[in-house]
Structure 1
């Protein structure tokens, strides 16, 4: 329930030591109706309460909340920028408590901890912050594009705050907030003030009225205070302006996937010893540097450097040779500047034949150079290189794409396709020799001859590869239809027959290859007839992950290999299958739900179902009947707080001899959708009207929140045509209505829907 979730930003005991008050703007990044429910994008793995990922982009700070089912485990947090890649990462250990761990915050971990990506990312809107345990992705938060754009402006007793809303942000779910603890001692009587969409409306506890208006990509929050002194306190909130956004709001109003942008806060490392940000970090150096002594100097070769994602581009390199002789306090230094990130080497000339040198190479970008420089020691090379072709000749029905590779970095490869020698005696190039620069297509019968010169001028022997290309059409690569379905030591695969290659040709057979997790082929490929579109691939090791590829053949040869399937794990001798996840609608009476372990080991096994609970007082605890059978049941109760609508997780444990296997299934309660429409009060008269998506439930009205004072109940009846769904009206008069406005109200339905708090307006 909402009361169980900490208010976003309430990390005061864990935020940096000097914390000033400030301003929040709250924006939902999910466009939805006026219902309290927000539907996340289908591909978004937003954390589910009580887990959460909270991002503070201006401070490049991340809080991981919850994940108490992973206490003691290590988790990897990554910041991924679309079109760029991973721009920051860290490994942390989940601790007990509301906050599992934090990154770039005193008491937490630095960016780069455990990953080697030693840079504090400049977190921006659109970046994705994810958490994973082992190789399994868990959840992610997309940094929301909303922020305050300037200082709050005070004019008399009116305070305004302006900010930015990116495309896709729903203005109907936006809240602007100013936090200042000193406001508790004023007529505001709380530590913050808030503005919600719509015209000026009085605050529930008094002291001010507020409104929020969105125009294009700008929002304006306006506060009118009852007195100038309170307005001044709010205007002087020391921390400055903030904007908060969340990606998803669940049925209990928990806000998931939070972004808290803090206007004016500096980025970069948040504590001593953490790595610099991208604009303070030098570029990477090239790798695999060789320095060969050649006539007149040193020939350097290297593998080009790649800029760390999120950092400025590498614009080139600087290479220097430093003489080892010290004259007084000086050494000779001779070098080159090389433009372009893709450069692979240079030659330093003008060196003394009587001097020994050390070589240093650095990457260059707009923020400086690599520190420390990469070091290489010049060597005299008298060993000839070797060069190979892939594929190395053979007969093929289609053109071959051939790659030539030398074993020494920086080698120059020359080739001919007419059968002549590419290199003659004395290292002279043949008249038809061409310099190899990229893989080549060989589409006709060809004798390919090739040789290489290494950086020191040593030349390889001449190699030859003979290609015969028949140019007979082969099938297109087949494609699997759906994921493999695993059994005990088996996987059932289905595919779609490809184009056979040309009119008059047919598919004569298929070849399916299994691969283990490290990419190694698992035994020989298995074959199927040309008319087949599925196969049961047997002989797999139990409890082992595999991927599969497929090729089709016709009379001319085989198609290219298909892409690999997703990894699946074959079942072992003992199997636990807890059945598919279920969605069960809450009803006006308890609903019987059946779990199904069919598919688990049947012979010589025992079964035990248990509910996975958050603790001994989990409000969603149910009683299982037949917990030692394959099909136990339980009653999904009629909703009543403090119950939640969170998924119920059940674990099946199958034991056969000394082998134990487990599997889990989730049962998700599907609730009605309720709203609060009219909420009005005057002395002796309180009226609350609203809607429900389902007829027949009962709504309970409370003051403040789910545990607040009970005000009354009302039945949901059918809405008058042409409207659909249900409506309710709760009217309290005289003493029942009270002598004061009850303030914000909250409703909950016996069918699970909740709404509020909603301010009650004075008539």
Structure 2
């Protein structure tokens, strides 16, 4: 599976994996946690290509081999879903190149329909073996036009890219690029990608100049000083507006990245389902009850419109005479009804004819596939006998006709050995006659468990088979009362980030997760400052976080002072009471002042040992350590004879400063793995040494 050319990034990889030690010595792995509409925390990232309706994830090495579930939603409504197995590098993509699946179908595609991904859509990804949920919101920035000056001799030619952006776009996290690998191999430019960003100082360029503006929702970028051939290469290149939601500190990445490519067409990639505009009208289920030989009552379940597609305009219901005339023509008789209808009576039919009944949805004048027949087919009676056996209805919970029954799952499940199940919840009759065998106009076809949300919900049920035998039932059902709130189990830190260099504006973050509590509607994270010397935990109510899901981020935390640590405890709340549950046992974190990482550990035998990376706090001292006996962290003291390094000034866009350690000549033997520690508290590793 090939990947798209990556957008232009900085050349420093901050960390292959981050970790930090709690006060009790426990190791916490660096794993990000976010939710739809907020950017990932890294190292995993989501990249959306709305022009081609493509999504890619990368950096999820901790989830390698797990099944990722991708969801695209708009205004709270799901418009697209997909699944795929994360590869060994932490990468997966959808709607780029479909991969044939053994037994038919394709991997790398959305399910049923490819969504038309738009600005403002929420994109989230979850994993089968992890509580992690990452998300982002698609940006509005896009390229709207490309113009070129009239070609002329000399390096005087230009290409101008224009576009728009909305208030959601942070110009500090915005860039315009042209990608054309041929520019690197031919002409004077010498790079596969060139670009402009309003948040970066101009750098010297070769073979071209670049200048741009971005204000009041519009941008314009001009690449100039081009030869005629270079002008053509730039004009032919892929023009992309890049905008992202956050800058990573743990890895070099633009988190929650939207890449809006100019001039590309959306919809399904080859082998993948079409987009909403090309999708077939939806199909559903229907049933037929013959009132007499010349009249049939046809009932159907409303067909859900294709996600993101046009709504259902109506339904076509036809009786098709099975006998064709000499020319092969078959007589049709039927109706077309509006989108809210769920039943029609086909009358005036020939009593001597045999008919096939078809129900189809209509979308924008196009007929969909025939609906499937609902229910369970009745067994064929022996020759000469008539089926007089009524269907057997089963309900969970069991209805008793009068007293309210509690639905433990808050649903009512129905089944029958034959026939089609109909029901009403509004007090109206389920059949046209008491104990009859023709469904009423308000009857609904049972397709899935019925949600029971209100106390004393009255339900009327009828099961009707093809011979006209009917079984009736009724009852009153109430939902099970909400469970009492209890302290969540499994609370743990899923990731954290250092406080950063500005003590007056700390940026420390701790992300937590826990197991869901039955019926919980919200959770509260309580934050305490633990002082070991006095054995006290001081509640910091201003740092409380209330969420509805099972993850939370506590932000704005300063670095832990010596002898202090942060303690996090979680409570749940359910509709059973207005108060919160007891607290969980505390989760402890000694929050470092920084994040550090490594991008090179290269040992050249007989030459030198070069170790380099980045950190988020300038002036921090970096030391190199061997792994401890269990390999879960570093030993306390640095490797003897290894010098330390100092983190340099912070550089954009990574928001990190470089550091470097060089041992020249190289030591006699190379360590197989190393850890690095910062004087600001961060710990990272283990890292495998590249021995040459």
Give the TM-score, by structure 2 length: 0.56
Question: Equivalents in 1 of 2:85, 2:516: separation in Å?
Answer: 36
3-state SS of paired residue (2:93): strand
Asked if residue 73 in structure 1 is aligned to residue 81 in structure 2, the reply is no
Question: Equivalents in 2 of 1:453, 1:493: separation in Å?
Answer: 34
Question: Equivalents in 2 of 1:491, 1:323: separation in Å?
Answer: 56
Q: Which residue of 1 aligns with 2:650?
A: 674
Question: Equivalents in 2 of 1:118, 1:493: separation in Å?
Answer: 32
Asked if residue 173 in structure 1 is aligned to residue 173 in structure 2, the reply is yes
8 Å Cα contact 1:299-1:345 kept in structure 2: yes
1:143 deviates by: 2.2
Equivalent position to 2:116, from 109, 113, 122: 122
1:672 deviates by: 10
Equivalent position to 1:152, from 147, 151, 157: 147
Question: 1:166-197, CA deviations, whole angstroms, 9 ceiling, x for partnerless residues?
Answer: 22211133222222344444443323332232
Question: Equivalents in 2 of 1:441, 1:48: separation in Å?
Answer: 37
3-state SS of paired residue (2:97): coil
Q: 1:114 to 1:331 in 2, by over 3 A?
A: farther
Q: 1:229 to 1:76 in 2, by over 3 A?
A: same
8 Å Cα contact 2:196-2:212 kept in structure 1: yes
8 Å Cα contact 1:101-1:108 kept in structure 2: no
Root-mean-square deviation (Å): 6.2
8 Å Cα contact 2:435-2:472 kept in structure 1: no
8 Å Cα contact 1:104-1:274 kept in structure 2: yes
1:132 deviates by: 2.5
3-state SS of paired residue (2:316): strand
1:115 deviates by: 9.4
1:306 deviates by: 0.9
Q: 1:277 to 1:219 in 2, by over 3 A?
A: same
Question: Equivalents in 2 of 1:222, 1:74: separation in Å?
Answer: 43
Question: Equivalents in 1 of 2:94, 2:575: separation in Å?
Answer: 44
3-state SS of paired residue (1:172): helix
Q: Which residue of 2 aligns with 1:237?
A: 236
Q: 1:644 to 1:77 in 2, by over 3 A?
A: farther
Q: Which residue of 1 aligns with 2:257?
A: 258
Question: Equivalents in 2 of 1:393, 1:76: separation in Å?
Answer: 44
Q: 1:86 to 1:214 in 2, by over 3 A?
A: same
3-state SS of paired residue (1:236): helix
1:101 deviates by: 3.4
Question: Equivalents in 1 of 2:491, 2:679: separation in Å?
Answer: 41
Structure whose CA Rg is larger:
1
Asked if residue 208 in structure 1 is aligned to residue 208 in structure 2, the reply is yes
Question: Equivalents in 1 of 2:182, 2:38: separation in Å?
Answer: 39
Q: Which residue of 1 aligns with 2:299?
A: 301
3-state SS of paired residue (1:232): helix
Question: Equivalents in 1 of 2:57, 2:191: separation in Å?
Answer: 27
Q: Which residue of 2 aligns with 1:100?
A: 91
Question: Equivalents in 1 of 2:7, 2:108: separation in Å?
Answer: 35
3-state SS of paired residue (1:204): coil
Question: Equivalents in 1 of 2:119, 2:296: separation in Å?
Answer: 47
Question: Equivalents in 1 of 2:459, 2:126: separation in Å?
Answer: 50
1:349 deviates by: 1.6
Q: 1:209 to 1:625 in 2, by over 3 A?
A: same
Q: Which of structures 1 and 2 has the larger relative contact order (alpha carbons within 8 angstroms, sep 6+)?
A: 2
Q: Which residue of 2 aligns with 1:191?
A: 192
Q: Which residue of 2 aligns with 1:134?
A: 128
8 Å Cα contact 1:300-1:347 kept in structure 2: yes
Q: Which residue of 2 aligns with 1:163?
A: 163
1:280 deviates by: 0.8
1:305 deviates by: 1.2
8 Å Cα contact 2:54-2:96 kept in structure 1: yes
Equivalent position to 1:314, from 312, 315, 323: 312
8 Å Cα contact 1:484-1:493 kept in structure 2: no
1:465 deviates by: 7.4
Question: Equivalents in 2 of 1:211, 1:124: separation in Å?
Answer: 29
Asked if residue 584 in structure 1 is aligned to residue 592 in structure 2, the reply is yes
Question: Equivalents in 2 of 1:443, 1:676: separation in Å?
Answer: 59
8 Å Cα contact 2:404-2:475 kept in structure 1: no
Asked if residue 87 in structure 1 is aligned to residue 63 in structure 2, the reply is no
1:406 deviates by: 12
Q: Which residue of 1 aligns with 2:554?
A: none
Question: 1:86-127, CA deviations, whole angstroms, 9 ceiling, x for partnerless residues?
Answer: 4232x3233334x73332223647997599932222222222
Q: 1:154 to 1:202 in 2, by over 3 A?
A: farther
Q: Which residue of 1 aligns with 2:330?
A: 332
8 Å Cα contact 2:123-2:136 kept in structure 1: yes
Question: Equivalents in 1 of 2:461, 2:135: separation in Å?
Answer: 51
3-state SS of paired residue (1:265): coil
Question: Equivalents in 1 of 2:206, 2:476: separation in Å?
Answer: 89
Question: Equivalents in 2 of 1:238, 1:627: separation in Å?
Answer: 51
Question: Equivalents in 2 of 1:100, 1:314: separation in Å?
Answer: 37
Question: Equivalents in 2 of 1:633, 1:51: separation in Å?
Answer: 25
1:291 deviates by: 4.2
Question: Equivalents in 2 of 1:307, 1:414: separation in Å?
Answer: 25
8 Å Cα contact 1:344-1:410 kept in structure 2: no
Q: Which residue of 2 aligns with 1:285?
A: 283
Q: 1:622 to 1:358 in 2, by over 3 A?
A: farther
8 Å Cα contact 2:281-2:363 kept in structure 1: yes
The runs of 5 or more residues in structure 1 that have no matched partner are: 1-10, 27-38, 428-432, 468-475, 497-546, 553-561, 571-576, 589-616, 646-670, 678-690, 693-698, 709-748, 754-763
Q: 1:256 to 1:493 in 2, by over 3 A?
A: closer
Question: 1:674-711, CA deviations, whole angstroms, 9 ceiling, x for partnerless residues?
Answer: 3589xxxxxxxxxxxxx99xxxxxx769xxxx899xxx
3-state SS of paired residue (1:53): strand
1:618 deviates by: 11
1:161 deviates by: 1.2
Q: Which residue of 2 aligns with 1:52?
A: 45
8 Å Cα contact 2:98-2:269 kept in structure 1: no
Q: Which residue of 2 aligns with 1:730?
A: none
Q: 1:197 to 1:412 in 2, by over 3 A?
A: closer
Q: 1:564 to 1:115 in 2, by over 3 A?
A: farther
Q: 1:158 to 1:410 in 2, by over 3 A?
A: same
Q: Which residue of 1 aligns with 2:537?
A: none
Q: What pairs up with 1:359-374 in 2 under 5 angstroms?
A: 359-366=357-364, 368-371=366-369, 373-374=371-372
Q: Please, which moves more after superposition, 288-297 or 401-410?
A: 401-410
3-state SS of paired residue (1:69): helix
Aligned length: 508
8 Å Cα contact 1:78-1:88 kept in structure 2: yes
8 Å Cα contact 1:58-1:262 kept in structure 2: yes
3-state SS of paired residue (2:87): coil
1:163 deviates by: 1.0
Question: 1:347-406, CA deviations, whole angstroms, 9 ceiling, x for partnerless residues?
Answer: 11221111212112111112722235535899999677899997854599xxxx999999
1:266 deviates by: 1.4
3-state SS of paired residue (1:583): coil
Question: 1:14-70, CA deviations, whole angstroms, 9 ceiling, x for partnerless residues?
Answer: 45xxx9xx99999xxxxxxxxxxxx99887564455533322222222333243334
Question: Equivalents in 1 of 2:232, 2:624: separation in Å?
Answer: 47
Q: 1:644 to 1:456 in 2, by over 3 A?
A: farther
8 Å Cα contact 1:47-1:53 kept in structure 2: yes
8 Å Cα contact 2:9-2:253 kept in structure 1: no
